[in-house]
Amino acid sequence: MLKCRVGSYRVSLFCIFSRLMYAVIDVETTGGSPASDRIIEIAVIIYDGQRTVDTFQSLVNPRRPIDPYVTKLTGISSEMVADAPLFEEVHQKILELTDEAIFVAHNVRFDFGMIRQEYKRLGIDFNRRQLDTVNLARKVLPGFNSYSLGNICDSLGIEITDRHRAFGDAEATVKLLDIILSKSNSSKYIEIELNHGIDMSLLPPYLSKAEIEKLPEDAGVFYYKDEVGKILYLDGVKNIRKKVISHISSLADSPERKRMFELMRGVDYELSGNEMIAKLNAYRDLKKHLPEFNKKPKLQEFTHAVFLTTDENGFYQLKIHPVDWPSGEAIIRFNSKASANKVLSKIIRDNNLYSWFAIRSKMKEKGVMEEKGLLSHNAFIERTVRRYLYKNQNFFIIGEGIHPDELSVVWLDHNTYKGYGFFNPELTEATPENLREIIKMEEDDFEVQKIIRAQLRKLKNAKIVSY
């Protein structure tokens, strides 16, 4: 490895980076989700840029069975971890080893995310500067077909003594990092990585790096503020830090954007637990504060609705009326009569309701009202129109909460958004009666419905409590 010249006037960035302390880490886990899976093995190698100065490795009891697939991949079985320490028994050692060190991993987002979630369960906010050897290798060592740990090590002649075990993979990552550090062009990319992916030349002139470092990698709303605390811009996102970094790292290529960056003095945030509540809260605050650099919200109130009514013979009908129409049930509400007509036409066309209307007309002409035919007609019409918005009209959406021991709930009653809340599933059973009690009431409108429907489409396995 290139050595620093002691007597040189200018110390290169490479020399500075080679003197940093790196905590090279690998974890094996029960699965790929930080929210629901647990660590079963961890290894930490402290590397000073030239040699290993300390190591730590341990199996970890995940308090759950290990899937046979994971055992086949790693060789770690439930029996092996039965007497292993819990994460809370090793967490202090990891804190001490990584203190003031740079957290390094191959695909750091995964390893850091798993460890950060374990600390979150203990009520500790674990934050470290991070380097990803996947990203660094792609930039410093271009031209390889694959940058997975196994393939890049094979390509570079790095031997992995114990693949898919924490210490073996961490040891291989140290060797890869050593090669990366030896390249003259590594300093530029390491600097960007250490600045959380931010090119410092693009950072708004009066915004400090500390403002970015304090931001969590959690769902919520972030707020750009000026020197007196006025909100300049806001957004609701799944990962606050990632979104802010992406936003401010893009070029300020318009006069309006440049002006916003010149006015920025800080970034605040409000956690939400998940993206759906983040989007709902952002829209609420957008209407309340009307930030200068956000697009103005379209305050579209419901004016018309598709009503489910009954004719003189008991057949269901779909009619469009103003939302305050006194009879029938408003199934789907719209911000204009034209929108209501467009959607109703689509429902009729896509579900071939014309054939059901024809059957109804024939029965009326004959003057014979068959109960079976009437019931079938009504059931199909009702099911079809209600299904356009949601599968159920009265339901709660259960999601992730802000804290590890809580869940969130969003309530819709008769297709109307009522609000959201948080609860501890160990203390509160998720019944409709209990969930109603914890709801913070909010306003419903056309845009809120769009947000909820869009988020439900993204949530393939959303837990729904209907009534």
Q: Where are the domains of the chain?
A: 13-194, 200-289, 304-387, 395-466
CATH 3.30.43.10 correct for 13-194? no
Task: Give the residue-averaged pLDDT of 167-196.
Answer: 90
Q: What is the DSSP letter of 217?
A: S
**Which amino acids are annotated catalytic?**
164
Q: Please, which pLDDT band fits residue 3 given cuts at 50, 70 and 90?
A: very low
> What angle do helix axes 186-194 and 133-140 make, rounded to 10 degrees?
150
The confidence score (pLDDT) of residue 103 equals 96
| pTM for the model | 0.61
Q: Which CATH class is domain 200-289?
A: alpha beta
Q: Phi-psi category of 415—alpha, beta or left, where left has phi over 0 and alpha has psi -120 to 50?
A: left
Alpha-carbon gap, residue 197 to 178, rounded angstroms: 21
The confidence score (pLDDT) of residue 459 equals 87
Q: Are strands 407-413 and 395-400 parallel, antiparallel or unpaired?
A: antiparallel
pLDDT digits (tens, 9 = 90+) for 29-49: 998 878 789 999 999 999 999
Return the H-helix or E-strand segment holding 247. Answer: helix 240-249
pLDDT digits (tens, 9 = 90+) for 378-431: 899 988 988 888 888 899 999 999 876 789 999 999 889 999 999 988 889 999
Q: Are strands 102-105 and 22-29 parallel, antiparallel or unpaired?
A: parallel
Alpha-carbon gap, residue 308 to 369, rounded angstroms: 20
pLDDT digits (tens, 9 = 90+) for 365-374: 776 667 777 8
